[in-house]
Amino acid sequence: MRYTLTSTLAGAAALALAAGAAFGQDSLSGDLKIFLDTSNPAPRATMEQMIAQFQEQHPDLNIETTIIDREAYKTQIRNFLTANAPDVATWYAANRMKPYVEAGLFEDVSDLWAEPEIADNLASTKGAMTIDGKQWGVPYTYYQWGVYYREDIYDELGLEEPKTWDAFKANCQAILDSGRKCFTIGTKFLWTAGGWFDYLNLRTHGYDFHMALANGEIAWTDERVKQTFANWRELIDMGAYIDNHTAYSWQEALPFMVNGEAAAYLMGNFAVAPLREAGLTDEQLDFYQFPAINPDVELAEDAPTDTFHIPANASNKDAARAFLRFVVSPDVQTRINNGENLGQLPVNAQSSVDDDEFLNQGFEMLSSNSPGGVAQFFDRDFPAEMAKVAMEGFQEFMVKPDNLDRILDRLERTRARIYK
């Protein structure tokens, strides 16, 4: 489904006043074509309002906005980047943008990342926007992953948020001894197991190793990869996870935590709303950063990131660059990510966050407490086919850990075929 909007949008004047003069009133003219995949109602309205702000600041600029259904956008992007490119297009960070970078379809915007306002305030996401030492877009929103847990159960058992791997396992044993499982999880659709691999690998070997594995530069049979799985097996052998998790989706695994049968969930912040809707209060629910495993490794996080790019074939690159600067500015980042709009986290460290406990915890963690970098999540960082085969292996490993060598051999054969 495609929608085309003219440059005159309702409410533009009021929004422009909110934006203020901080973004500048440089003279921009000509046409600016923007393609968006934000077709759901709230994201669509957010983008329309943001573009209206920019339009009011540049009245001589004719902005044409085209909104395409997200799934259709994924199939159309290569065609429109090649044949009739807009000036700005939404997409995703890291490996998801790599095919278009390698095909020469995205513009190098390293010049923007050299500007202090971007370099200093978006530092946590620079790695996710970098390929071959250059930056190829800017992020506009992301959300945190981490451990959401039943604070009331931890209090009952006298447990504190763990900062180390040993404390993490000790907490788990105490929870198991109380007759509960440490973690709920539903692996029916595979990707949740990818989150566990991400964090165990990032904490065991760090961001650079994890991304080298994602880029096919490290064998799955490497002893260092096996160490990640050895750490994972410690939890599996303890019985940390709920039984029969392959039968549940991530939503179907929520009741185990709501009912107190499991004490925690490694998940993205999108789980908070259904947990609250199911009856958990903020006094019962809390969040902590996945703890360190290797003390020599800086902490990196999973934070899937949505992005804006300038197509290499864009016609009005000056206006497009001005728009990207506008998108990542602190005030705009604050506004588009608030609860009435995207309800996620701003990427600019100078932005502010809604008065929500979990958003504030995530913003603090990602803005200042993730010096090791920001990964995108397993099925975004790894090529699609590699991700599918690997996540099938993760699910199998969680059920039959003795199959590890066979699983890793299969993953290695897949790597050899895919990364030619």
pLDDT at 95: 83
| Domains parsed from the chain with CATH numbers | 2-142+304-351 (3.40.190.10), 145-302+377-418 (3.40.190.10)
pLDDT at 284: 98
Angstrom distance (rounded) from CA 31 to CA 62: 5
Angstrom distance (rounded) from CA 304 to CA 238: 30
- Give the chain's length: 420
pTM for the complete prediction?
0.85
- With pLDDT > 90 as the criterion, what percentage of the chain qualifies? 84
Angstrom distance (rounded) from CA 56 to CA 112: 23
Per-residue pLDDT tens digits of the chain, which is 420 residues long: 555 654 434 333 334 434 443 444 457 999 999 999 998 888 999 999 999 999 999 999 999 999 999 889 989 999 999 999 999 999 999 888 999 999 999 999 999 999 999 999 999 899 889 999 999 999 999 999 999 999 999 999 999 999 999 999 999 999 999 999 999 999 999 999 999 999 999 999 999 999 999 999 999 999 999 999 999 999 999 999 999 999 999 999 999 999 999 999 999 999 999 999 999 999 999 999 999 999 999 999 999 999 999 999 999 999 999 999 999 999 999 999 988 889 899 999 999 998 889 999 999 999 876 678 889 999 999 988 999 999 999 999 999 999 999 999 999 999 999 998
Asked if residues 64 and 7 have their Cβ atoms less than 8 Å apart, the reply is yes
pLDDT at 7: 40
Partners of 301 in the β-ladder = 374
Angstrom distance (rounded) from CA 205 to CA 222: 12
Contacts of 205 (CB under 8 A, 6+ apart): 224, 227, 228, 294, 297
Burial per residue of 18-40, b for 16 or more beta-carbon CB atoms within 10 angstroms, e otherwise: ebeeebeeeebeeebbbbbbbbe
Contacts of 190 (CB under 8 A, 6+ apart): 388, 391, 392, 394, 395
pLDDT digits over 218-266, tens only? 999 999 999 999 999 999 999 999 999 999 999 999 999 999 999 999 9
pLDDT at 114: 97
- With pLDDT > 70 as the criterion, what percentage of the chain qualifies? 93
Decide the pairing of beta strands 30-36 and 88-92: parallel
Angstrom distance (rounded) from CA 242 to CA 253: 9
pLDDT digits over 294-346, tens only? 999 999 999 999 999 999 999 999 999 999 999 999 999 999 998 888 989 99
Alpha helix stretches (DSSP H) within 281-352 = 317-327, 330-336
User: E strands, 325-365, where?
Assistant: none
From first CA to last CA, the distance across the chain in angstroms is 36
Average pLDDT of the residues of the chain: 92
Q: Cα 13–19–20 angle (5° rounding)?
A: 95
